[in-house]
Amino acid sequence: MSATLLDVEAIRRRYTSLQSGFALFDAPGGTQVPDEVGAAIARTLREASANLGAPYETGQRVEAVLAEAKQKGAGFLGCTPAEVVFGMNMTTVNFALSRTAGRDWREGDEVIVTRLDHDGCAAPWVELAADKGLKVHLVDVNEDLSLDFDDLERKLSDRTRVVACSIACNAVGTLVDAERLCTLAREAGALSWLDAVHYAAHETVDVARLGCDVLICSPYKFCGPHLGLGFVRAELAETWRPYKARPSPTEPLARRFETGTLPYELLGGFNATLDYLEDIGGMEAIREYERGLGRRFIDALPDSVTVYGLPTMEGRVPTFLVNVEGVSAYDVAAALAGKRMGVWAHDGWYCVGLAERLPAEGSVRIGFIHYNTADEVDRLAAELGALSS
């Protein structure tokens, strides 16, 4: 299905939450959920409230839900089902996997993170470094808030153990050339560890193409339930000793990194989410439609609105950090809420490394997703312009 055939009005009818006329531009903080996903969660609770290994019908249903989730997750990430990890959320999965990866690292070993990272990507390594005496290097950004690859190359050494990076910055929308980053990490003998939370909502994920060792994302950023979804390369996973309850399963491979009982009802919702994304046209159609919204927004903005970072849709996803001349970010968010439009105002946006490059008084984040319409974008741009009048 081509992007021109993305039927946004039909898509919106699948969401009770979009029927009030309130325009939501807060996708970077979490998307709305189509009714069919909520129904799948409820159905799983009704029909498959059991646990793995139960030798009767509800136990078999749970097994089927998990098997389907592993298969669908593998298709979404571009890996095998045995390499798919589920958990409470991206940050929880990341803390668990980072501890596993770093078991045998030694004082003086080095980890690399970047200024573009959400702290859910960076903090696990910062805390591991504090525990084990590791050195943390922070890769800088260029003037346009794109990643400084020259700085990355300068910071790589034979003591580098991991290069962690958010592929798409949740604050300013910048995309990172993840293939290049993974190649540099591999050539240095380090792990490549990708946070795709913001990326996976807007771009097709293919871990084989990226060449990464670990990738983690969150379905609630692409119209699914609150979960963490991850990939660990099989050859790497086989070498790790996991933190786990000893009787719990170690096969298939990635099961060894899933601590405790999984939320099977949310996995039922996850399965419905991926069916939904495929049914409306798939990620390629979604990507092209969203990029059109982003271009429309940029073209409509008056000079009184400052956009931080890249000034076009090249090298970014449709997430924008802005300020309106003469109006505080928090007043902008409040005024737009009064006009039935939802945006957030904040200071650092959980990007601790980037915060010093952002306005100390705060900024407004605007994020489009495939259920937003051209009319909504036009309304938003016009209201932003009117605020500075």
Give 55-124 as a DSSP string. Answer: SSHHHHHHHHHHHHHHHHHHHHHTS-GGGEEEES-HHHHHHHHHHHHTTT--TT-EEEEETT--HHHHHH
Per-domain residue ranges of the chain: 3-32+281-387, 38-277
The pLDDT of residue 250: 78
Q: What is the reported pLDDT for 49?
A: 87
Q: 68-72 long-range CB contacts below 8 Å, 24 or more apart?
A: 68/267, 68/271, 69/267, 69/268, 69/270, 69/271, 70/252, 72/270, 72/271, 72/274, 72/275
Q: How many CA atoms lie within 13 A of 40 on its CB side?
A: 22
Which of 195, 229, 197, 192 is CA-nearest to residue 211?
Answer: 192
Q: Which residues contact 338 (CB under 8 A, 6 or more apart)?
A: none
Longest dimension (CA), the chain: 68
CA dist 92 to 56, 83, 217, 255, 319, Å? 32, 17, 11, 15, 24
- pLDDT at position 4, please? 52
Give the pLDDT of residue 3: 43
The per-residue pLDDT for 251 is: 80
- Alpha carbons 311 and 362: distance in angstroms, whole number: 19
Residues 6+ apart with CB under 8 A from 247: none
CB atoms within 10 A of CB 47: 15
Nearest alpha-carbon partner for 188 in 214, 162, 209, 164 = 162
Q: Which residues of the chain have pLDDT under 70?
A: 1-4
Q: What gap in Å lies between CA 205 and CA 283, rounded to an integer?
A: 9
Cβ atoms of 6 and 286 within 8 Å: the answer is: yes
Class of domain 3-32+281-387: alpha beta
Look up the pTM and report it.
0.96
Q: Which value, in Å, is the radius of gyration of the alpha carbons in the chain? A: 21
Q: Summarize pLDDT for 345-382 with one digit per residue, the tens.
A: 999 899 999 999 999 999 999 999 999 999 999 999 99
CATH of 38-277, one of 3.40.640.10, 3.40.50.1010, 3.40.980.10, 3.30.70.2740: 3.40.640.10
